[in-house]
Amino acid sequence: MERAAGILLSVSSLPSPHGIGTFGKAAYDFADFLAAAGQKYWQMLPLGPVSYGDSPYQSFSSFAGNPYYIDLDMLAADGLLKKKEITACDFGDDPSKVDYGKIYSQRFDLLKKAADRGYDRDKAEVADFSSENPWLSDYALFMACKRHFDMVSWTEWPDEALRRREPETVEKYRSLLCEDVKLFTYIQFLFYRQWNKLRDYIHSKGIKIIGDVPIYVALDSADVWSAPWEFVLDENYQPIEVSGCPPDIFTADGQLWGNPLYDWNHMQQDGFGWWIRRIGGLSKLYDVIRIDHFRGFDEYWAVPYGDETARGGQWKKGPGMNLVGVLSSWFKDVSFIAEDLGFPTPSVKQLLEDSGWPGMKVLCFAFDSREPSNYLPHCYKNNCICYTGTHDNETLAQWLDTAPKADTALAKEYLGLSKGEGYVYGIIRGGMSSVADLFIAQMQDYLELGAEARMNRPGDPSGWWRWRMPKEALKGNKAKALAKKIKKMTELYSR
């Protein structure tokens, strides 16, 4: 990976008049902003449809795109919606926060209108898209069935034969729910058509796209319903054990994520075909793939299903280089980043070294006054990615306000922070000037925003993923000045 810099910004955080960021004009404006700022990467959060808690890390599919990101103005320009239909909707009245409840109640009615007008017109293209994406058939039926059963989890569908995917029953529902199957098929067609156009524009600016891949998938997903044998489930398709993290100094009960665990032995029997298909699908979205919770490939924390905390879990051995080697050899045109945060055990360190993938260094974690940290920039090697923080961290301004005084004092001493430069930009400079091949800052940090702009707090299941960037950040003299400021620092440190 060449020496470069980029910015982390969720598509959902882009400004738009319709409640949430989309693949519309603001996305193109942000690509222009990145280019003007001398950035070579746009890191995004997962682009899949959100489910429980609005988290992009709990999705109904590893392959499908989020319907909310389909730009409504583009649909209107394509003759699929009328302007008055869009303006009649209430997407929320706070431009700084996403109102997921209102968007959910309004968006699908509009997309249904678009499908009614466009499906037959685009039938040949939709057929080609479907044949190129074999996952789509199961996903569209899965979502149609969820709507039919009032969106309850597939493990609670009243028809046992459908839960078990008995062929005659599956075809019965495919016929019964054919209109919704067509709707969810067309929604994905629209998503990818808009995405491909945006991706090509981003690439034309000399910018690559980094995307997150959650290591686990949601139980209530087309992934698990369509291939339950790939997961550790009992005869009733309930998990035997679920994912999480053990207790640590931050969380006394650990983190109980609740995802079903993979049957790694079964997956290895066909050469990890499930993972090859998953990464193959995501390579249509991203140039660089960040594997979330890389440690789970070495060892993973398995919690008995039904436990209320993660305390009762135990470490189990993951697939290690058996899987990592397959992904590296199969996807030679894709770069990988290992999210290796947390306690670096010798075996995790060895797996990272064997993989050749760059790991992560987070500046928010560097300045622990109690003990030396390997996240301090003088400890870096070239083959790593330095972040100001991730979607799970405080913004830098928030960290400076809330971290222990001894920690912020260490940061000020170590980085030579000053009020003249601004403490936030001093920390950014510390990462930008490091030897790490790639430096990524959250857009919130370049805007010097505080707690109001935090994206997520791990272990807190609701009220997050809502921050939206003010539209002024992409347009006007302030935006030009910010891009110029970022570019100057980027060029100063040869990124």
Catalytically active residues, by annotation: 292, 339, 392
Torsion over CA of 410, 411, 414 and 420, rounded to 10 degrees?
Answer: -120
Long-range contacts of 262-268 (CB under 8 A, 24+ apart): 262/216, 262/230, 262/231, 262/232, 263/229, 263/230, 263/231, 263/232, 264/318, 264/319, 264/323, 266/229, 266/230, 267/230, 267/319, 267/323, 268/319, 268/322, 268/323
How far apart are alpha carbons 420 and 135 in whole angstroms? 54
Q: Is 438 helix (H, G, I), strand (E, B) or coil?
A: strand
Residue 185 in tokens: 């098929």
Closest among 434, 292, 431 to 359, alpha carbons compared: 292
**DSSP 8-state class, residue 261:** P
C-alpha torsion sign, points 466, 51, 24, 339:
positive
Contacts (Cβ under 8 Å, ≥6 apart) of 423: 396, 400, 411, 412, 417
Residue 213: CA atoms inside 13 Å, Cβ hemisphere, count?
A: 26
- For tokens 């067609």, the residue is 189
- For tokens 């679920």, the residue is 242
Contacts (Cβ under 8 Å, ≥6 apart) of 145: 154, 157, 162, 173, 177
